[in-house]
Amino acid sequence: MEYPISHYFLVHSESDRLAAQHVERYLAGNQLISYAEAFVRPEEVLNGTDDRFRPVLEYGLAANRIFARRMLDHLKEEGITTLEQLLELQQGYATKVLHTLTHLLDGFIGIDSVFYSLVEDSHWISDGLFERIRTAPAEYWLVPVRTGKLEASVLHPVD
């Protein structure tokens, strides 16, 4: 069976093998999401020196930003236009959207996370980390993870 790539993880590591192991340990111990299967194809792991590294990194960051924007748009559709309105939100759809957005901003991985930095525990990359990647690209890896059926998620019900 062919599984699509679900997540790209940024790892600081000495080798592709150790980077993949780091991601596998992280997913195995994660309490927010668990998959029936999650695996890494060694030939897909990208080093910071690879020409494909930067475009894949930018793709993942853009996908996360698009998802965050979609959550903001949902809140606007629910009539939320100011921060003060958040205190008046009734529990329901809008609070769940806000909760999901907050997880993305705060660094909790979810099934909608396309890119995740294990270096900074974040869905984004700080300017300082961009600089460290630029000056020592061989120390950074993007590890694509292919997943099977979602078994459990704190943020999304499982069928």
Whether the predicted pLDDT of 112 surpasses 90:
no
159 domain residue, yes or no: no
Flag whether 158 is in a domain. no
Q: Is residue 149 very low, low, confident or very high in pLDDT (cuts 50, 70, 90)? A: low
Residue 125 within a domain: yes
Q: State pTM to two decimals.
A: 0.87
Total domains in the chain come to 1
Q: What would the mean pLDDT of 105-109 be, rounded to a whole number?
A: 86
Query: To the nearest whole number, what is the mean pLDDT of the chain?
Result: 89
Find the mean pLDDT for residues 50-65.
97
On whether residue 114 sits in a domain, the answer given is yes
Query: Is 84 part of a structural domain of the chain?
Result: yes
Is residue 22 included in any domain, yes or no? yes
Q: How crowded is residue 109: how many other Cβ atoms within 10 Å of its Cβ?
A: 22
pLDDT at 159: 47
Residue span of the structural domain in which 19 resides: 5-152
CA angle 77, 156, 3 (to 5 degrees): 115
pLDDT in tens, 16-29: 999 999 999 998 88
23 domain-assigned: yes
Taking residues 99-107, report their average pLDDT: 88
153 pLDDT exceeds 80? no
Mean pLDDT value of segment 117-143: 97
Cβ within 8 Å of residue 153, ≥6 positions away: 32, 33, 34, 110, 111
For residues 119 and 11, is the Cβ–Cβ distance under 8 A? yes
